[in-house]
Structure 1
Amino acid sequence: MNRSAKTSESIPIQTIVIISITWAIVALFFYMLFGVRAEGEARPLWYSICTYIFENVGYMAASLLCFRNWQSRQMVSGRRVWLLLGLAMFFFFVGNLFFGIGELVFQLDADVSLGDIFYIPCYGFLAWGMILAVIPRRLNMELWQWAVLGAVAMVGIVVTYGLVTYADNTAELMLATNPVALDGTESDITNAPAWALSLNAMLLPFANVVSQIYIVGDVALLIAASTLLLAFWGGRFAQSWRMIAAAMFCFYISDMWYYYAVNTNPDYQSGELLEVGWVFSAVLVAIGAALEYDISTKSRRGSGSRRRGGAS
């Protein structure tokens, strides 16, 4: 473990940033080039597997970099902040694994899956981590910053409410005209074992509650990210937290798109272009964690050098 930690610490910040940006660009081009399909055409299995690889590798890398910050005692923003962010990235990674197995292996089109048990805590860890990062700054924001925060919160709530209302109304209309279209009874589930079908049936009554949790969580993350961005508007350590805030905006866009898509298209298959925002979110968190580590360690080493120089 010590050798592994030393190897992680020896990776230059430039290398981490270049690899992260390259991963995001490759993912974007992959979604753009191979994600287009004709109406009614099923996505090839290899494409769906690759989209999960892009997401899961990104979230695992982000969690490892956040946990590296948590293990370091030099973090200016505090170790607990990075523990929470690392847990959020890891829980999303695990949730994605379960969701991908259900979708690709068992061919389950479930409103609630085992992955949701891990997705939901991810929102709590993200919000808690960002709150802990902002609290030490005591929110000494100017009037215009409070105005911007209020406007972002209002727009986010209105957009989310409008999108959710439209999607729900569309789903109700489709269900009224074709009751079988949205209940999954017409699906030919041949690869799902009995325990998976039983779990699907057991979780189905919680579908509405889970959807509401996601909606509230997305709005909360949007407001928290805006607060984070304004609280770290300037200063030496602002750059890393701008990355984290941008990651939450990408996360919000992909989440809202997915909610809209699955409620307006009963045959929706994951892998549309806007879902690349989840990859961007992981990449931006990874870059933010790497920047914070680099700045914090250099700052502490620099102050230690000055103290030694003064003592001599």
Structure 2
Amino acid sequence: MNNSYENSFLSKSIFTTQNIVLANIGWAVLALLYFLLFSAKVPGADGIESRAEWYVIGTNIFEALAYLAASILCLRNWLSPQIVSGRNVWLLIGLGMLSYFVGGIIFGYTEIVLKDEPDVSVGDIFFVLSYLLLGAGMILAVASRRINLEKWQWLIVLAIAVFGSLLAWWISMQQETPSELLVAILNWFYVVSDVVLLIIATTLLLAFWGGRVSQSWRMIAAAAFSLYIADMWFKYAQGPNYQSGEILEVFWVFSGVLFGMGAILEYDASLRRTRRTSGRKRA
């Protein structure tokens, strides 16, 4: 009985909102330091500069654990009946994070273990699924709230949409047109999805600004921006000499961390709201 109580108390004392947020921030800082300190290319036996394999493995671990943790935190929100933004919103986002985690594992296995870099792989199935799920979850969040933005706020959304679209278009024009139809379709799907998520995230950020859960959706918006930066860099850097592990790819880790922080902040805000409501009823 005492052991059960002590374990329960220890669990509750460790997994507090503050500790989880600090753990996420710590993971992001460690990832940034890792990328900054060890991303330099070194000459190999053949004279060609490349990054150490252990470094590439490390970048995959940082990214994978960030998205796995985010999926767990988002699905915890789905299981909570008190969640403010709606359980289905977090179910979709959580499944999107989980799909991105699986896609990253497959991508890393193909690159590191199989020593192959195909234009299309099984991992793309999960990446496509993650974008669809994330988009659906964020659209559902917008639909569940009355959008009544000021004119200047709509101008911000329009400006970011134009800038994001032009940058994506410019980067796409710098690349060679893929000869395979499926590769071309996937490339444009990822580009369009990144821009759409960017627009939805901006709208959500402005719509929830100053509300009960504004902090959580600021994190979600920042996560979408980070995903956009990492994806655009990846597309820009693609070529015969591309190697994984460039500095800007740390934004993939940031994106997973920020999605997780958004989930935990919403969970905490929802619990606080429930306690205040129940307190008024008792009074």
Amino acid at match of 2:145: R
Deviation at 1:80, TM superposition (A): 0.2
> 2:38 matched to which residue of 1?
34
SS in 2 for 1:239: helix
Structure 2 CA distance for aligned equivalents of residues 151 and 20 of structure 1: 31
SS in 1 for 2:144: helix
Structure 2 CA distance for aligned equivalents of residues 286 and 65 of structure 1: 6
> 1:301 matched to which residue of 2?
275
Amino acid at match of 2:201: A
Deviation at 1:164, TM superposition (A): 1.1
TM (normalized to structure 2)?
0.91
Q: 1:96 aligns with which of 86, 104, 109?
A: 104
Question: Is 2:63 the counterpart of 1:87?
Answer: no
Question: Is 2:167 the counterpart of 1:155?
Answer: no
Q: 5+ residue gaps in structure 1?
A: 173-181, 184-203
Deviations 1:242-293 (A, max 9, x none): 000000000000000001111xx31211110000000000111111100000
Amino acid at match of 2:252: W
Contact 2:42 2:52 in 1 (8 A): no
> 1:140 matched to which residue of 2?
148
> 2:4 matched to which residue of 1?
none
> 2:69 matched to which residue of 1?
61
Amino acid at match of 2:133: F
Structure 1 CA distance for aligned equivalents of residues 31 and 203 of structure 2: 29
Question: Is 2:229 the counterpart of 1:253?
Answer: yes
> 1:23 matched to which residue of 2?
27
Structure 2 CA distance for aligned equivalents of residues 129 and 10 of structure 1: 29
Question: Is 2:206 the counterpart of 1:233?
Answer: no
Amino acid at match of 1:238: S
Deviations 1:107-136 (A, max 9, x none): 111111110010001111111111111222
TM (normalized to structure 1)?
0.83
Structure 2 CA distance for aligned equivalents of residues 152 and 31 of structure 1: 28
SS in 2 for 1:220: helix
Deviation at 1:9, TM superposition (A): 9.5
Structure 1 CA distance for aligned equivalents of residues 137 and 25 of structure 2: 24
Structure 1 CA distance for aligned equivalents of residues 28 and 225 of structure 2: 15
Deviation at 1:233, TM superposition (A): 1.7
Q: 2:262 aligns with which of 285, 288, 292?
A: 288
Deviation at 1:137, TM superposition (A): 2.1
Amino acid at match of 2:206: L
Structure 2 CA distance for aligned equivalents of residues 110 and 79 of structure 1: 37
Deviation at 1:7, TM superposition (A): 4.6
Structure 2 CA distance for aligned equivalents of residues 51 and 277 of structure 1: 11
Amino acid at match of 1:28: L
Contact 2:229 2:251 in 1 (8 A): yes
Deviation at 1:50, TM superposition (A): 0.3
Deviations 1:147-181 (A, max 9, x none): 11111111111111111112x2xx36xxxxxxxxx
Contact 2:41 2:52 in 1 (8 A): no
Structure 2 CA distance for aligned equivalents of residues 145 and 14 of structure 1: 32
Question: Is 2:18 the counterpart of 1:44?
Answer: no
Question: Given the superposition, is the C-alpha separation of residues 232 and 9 from structure 1 closer, same or farther in structure 2, using an over 3 Å criterion?
Answer: farther
> 1:271 matched to which residue of 2?
245
Structure 1 CA distance for aligned equivalents of residues 136 and 129 of structure 2: 11
Question: Is 2:195 the counterpart of 1:219?
Answer: yes
Structure 2 CA distance for aligned equivalents of residues 11 and 26 of structure 1: 20
Deviation at 1:236, TM superposition (A): 2.1
Task: Return structure 1 stretches of 4+ with deviation > 4 angstroms.
Answer: 6-10
Structure 2 CA distance for aligned equivalents of residues 125 and 147 of structure 1: 27
Amino acid at match of 2:225: F
Amino acid at match of 1:148: I
When the two chains are superposed, the root-mean-square deviation of aligned CA atoms in Å is: 2.0
Q: 1:113 aligns with which of 121, 133, 158?
A: 121
Amino acid at match of 1:33: L
Structure 2 CA distance for aligned equivalents of residues 43 and 223 of structure 1: 35
SS in 1 for 2:49: coil
Deviations 1:209-248 (A, max 9, x none): 1111111111111111111111112122100000000000
